[in-house]
């Protein structure tokens, strides 16, 4: 009989139920980690990648795609690749995709930025931040390096992954036909999106056929869609279906919103843009709360509770858990299923 002791020469997941398993022919999803970053994000980003490798990817072995509007430095490429045995691909974002479009009225955009500085809105002054939000909202999934993949998991610098993952979340997405997975949700600052909901309502009036029958409007609105409650999934963590973004519904939705200019005349974030689409154009059963993935992005964290904490050998304090704090929207997600 085969020894129960795993062969340490092959990399195995630390979780007990994966010990000794032959992973070479395990079912896999066609999936990739996506990292948008600047060269200056290198060191904080390595913290995130190191943890992703230790908690999950040392056995799952998914590729990474790094994207940047500037060429990645040799140093960036060397240190990121050195942390993983998976393939790393480094892509340049074309200037015409990244930068503020010519048809944006810069005078109007500038006035909006100045107003936000007065109101002390976070990143209110920043054009690069707006470029980033617009790219994440409508263009990351069109990058040629992502063309061959079906699912993505977004990674940001300086985040924490607290628990061993002994299953493949991409397979949950694929097998259960999920389109959007999250760990944390919260309220958006209204100063960044004052006219977003009016634009969304205009869009769905034009295209009622895109709204899913069993949608999650209850996550976004408590009055049947009249007003937006500002709830969104926190997009610095997201596991998603790239084909959802490639759908005509999403492409038309992004294009409609983009033409409104709100990425520059306001400061629309990719989190509400993704969340509203996922909640309206997919059925609520296609959203997934990854409760067993312990995750922190400053200043909030999701720490798995009870048995999940033990199973994942999590190192977060279970008391420090944002899920049902007053500023979290996760109760609106769970209410969809009650
Ligand atoms: P926050 O989480 O909203 O505070 O924003 P971050 O500073 O974490 O930015 C979100 C993501 O976009 C991170 O992965 C950053 O590395 C990346 N990012 C932000 N601004 C830029 C930029 O100007 N260029 C590039 N290439 N990446 C950016
Ligand atoms: Mn961030």
Chain position carrying tokens 């340490």 = 8
Looking at all shown ligands, the one closest to residue 140's CA atom is 1
Residue 120 has pLDDT above 60, yes or no: yes
The confidence score (pLDDT) of residue 25 equals 86
Of 300, 289, 176, the C-alpha closest to 238 is 289
C-alpha 68 to ligand 1 mean position (Å) = 10
Mean pLDDT, range 200-206, rounded to an integer: 98
The confidence score (pLDDT) of residue 22 equals 76
Which tens digits make up the pLDDT trace of 134-165?
Answer: 999 999 999 999 999 999 999 999 999 999 99
Residue 336 has pLDDT above 90, yes or no: yes
Choose the residue to mutate in 43, 47, 132, 145 for probing ligand 1, maximizing ligand atoms within 8 Å of C-beta: 132
Q: Which of 238, 266, 298, 307 is catalytic?
A: 238
C-alpha 269 to ligand 1 mean position (Å) = 12
The confidence score (pLDDT) of residue 114 equals 98
User: Is residue 174 a contact partner of residue 29, using CB atoms and an 8 Å limit?
Assistant: yes
Which tens digits make up the pLDDT trace of 251-284?
Answer: 999 999 999 999 999 999 999 999 999 999 999 9
Residue 1 has pLDDT above 80, yes or no: no
Ligand 1 atom 5: the closest Cα is on which residue?
A: 129
Cβ neighbours of 77 (radius 10 Å): 16
Pocket of ligand 1 (CB under 6 A): 36-38, 41, 68-69, 128, 132, 156-157, 236
C-alpha 7 to ligand 1 mean position (Å) = 40
Q: Which residues are placed with Cβ below 5 angstroms of ligand 2, an ion?
A: 156, 236
C-alpha 137 to ligand 1 mean position (Å) = 13
Looking at all shown ligands, the one closest to residue 44's CA atom is 1
The confidence score (pLDDT) of residue 24 equals 81
The confidence score (pLDDT) of residue 258 equals 98
Mean pLDDT, range 308-336, rounded to an integer: 97
Mean pLDDT, range 226-245, rounded to an integer: 98
Ligand 1 atom 13: the closest Cα is on which residue?
A: 156
Cβ neighbours of 335 (radius 10 Å): 11
The confidence score (pLDDT) of residue 166 equals 92
Indicate which atom in ligand 1 lies nearest the CA of residue 154: 14
The confidence score (pLDDT) of residue 170 equals 97
- What pTM does this model have? 0.94
Distance CA 86, CA 59 (A): 10
The confidence score (pLDDT) of residue 23 equals 83
- Sketch out the chain's domains with CATH numbers: 16-335 (3.90.550.10)
Looking at all shown ligands, the one closest to residue 270's CA atom is 1
The confidence score (pLDDT) of residue 287 equals 98
| Per-chain mean pLDDT for the chain | 94
Which tens digits make up the pLDDT trace of 3-51?
Answer: 344 333 334 455 555 656 678 888 999 999 999 999 999 999 999 999 9
Choose the residue to mutate in 33, 34, 35, 38 for probing ligand 1, maximizing ligand atoms within 8 Å of C-beta: 38
Pairing of strands 63-68, 160-161: unpaired
Question: Which ipTM value was assigned to this complex?
Answer: 0.99
Of 279, 268, 203, the C-alpha closest to 244 is 279
C-alpha 156 to ligand 2 mean position (Å) = 6
Cβ neighbours of 294 (radius 10 Å): 27
Ligand 1 atom 1: the closest Cα is on which residue?
A: 236
Residue 101 has pLDDT above 60, yes or no: yes
Q: What residues contact residue 287 under an 8 Å CB cut-off, 6+ apart?
A: 178, 179, 180, 181, 182, 216, 219, 233, 278, 279, 333
Is position 298 annotated as part of the catalytic site?
Answer: no
């Amino acid at each position: 009989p085969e020894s129960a002791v795993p062969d340490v020469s092959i990399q195995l997941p630390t979780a007990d139920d994966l010990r000794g398993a032959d992973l070479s022919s395990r079912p896999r999803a066609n999936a990739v980690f996506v990292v948008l970053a600047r060269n200056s994000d290198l060191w904080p980003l390595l913290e995130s990648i190191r943890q992703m490798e230790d908690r999950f990817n040392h056995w799952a072995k998914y590729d990474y795609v790094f994207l940047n509007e500037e060429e990645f430095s040799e140093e960036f490429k060397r240190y990121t690749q050195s942390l993983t045995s998976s393939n790393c691909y480094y892509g340049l974002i074309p200037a015409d995709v990244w930068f503020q479009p010519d048809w944006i009225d810069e005078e109007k955009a500038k006035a909006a930025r100045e107003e936000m500085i007065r109101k002390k809105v976070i990143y209110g002054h920043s054009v690069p931040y707006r470029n980033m939000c617009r790219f994440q909202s409508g263009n990351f999934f069109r990058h040629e390096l992502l063309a061959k993949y079906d699912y993505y998991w977004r990674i940001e610098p300086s985040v924490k992954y607290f628990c061993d993952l002994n299953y493949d979340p991409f397979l949950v997405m694929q097998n259960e036909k999920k389109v959007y997975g999250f760990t944390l949700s919260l309220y958006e600052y209204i100063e960044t999106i004052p006219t977003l909901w009016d634009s969304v309502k205009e869009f769905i009036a034009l295209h009622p056929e895109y709204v899913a029958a069993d949608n999650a409007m209850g996550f976004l609105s408590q009055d049947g869609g009249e007003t937006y409650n500002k709830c969104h999934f926190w997009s610095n963590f997201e596991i998603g279906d790239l084909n959802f973004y490639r759908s005509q519904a999403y492409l038309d939705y992004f294009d409609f919103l983009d033409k409104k200019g709100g990425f520059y005349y306001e400061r629309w974030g990719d989190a509400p843009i993704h969340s509203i689409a996922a909640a309206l154009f997919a059925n609520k059963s296609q959203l997934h709360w990854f409760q067993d993935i312990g995750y922190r992005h400053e200043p909030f964290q999701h720490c798995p509770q009870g048995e999940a904490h033990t199973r994942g050998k999590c190192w977060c304090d279970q008391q420090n858990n944002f899920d049902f704090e007053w500023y979290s929207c996760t109760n609106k997600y769970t209410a969809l299923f009650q």
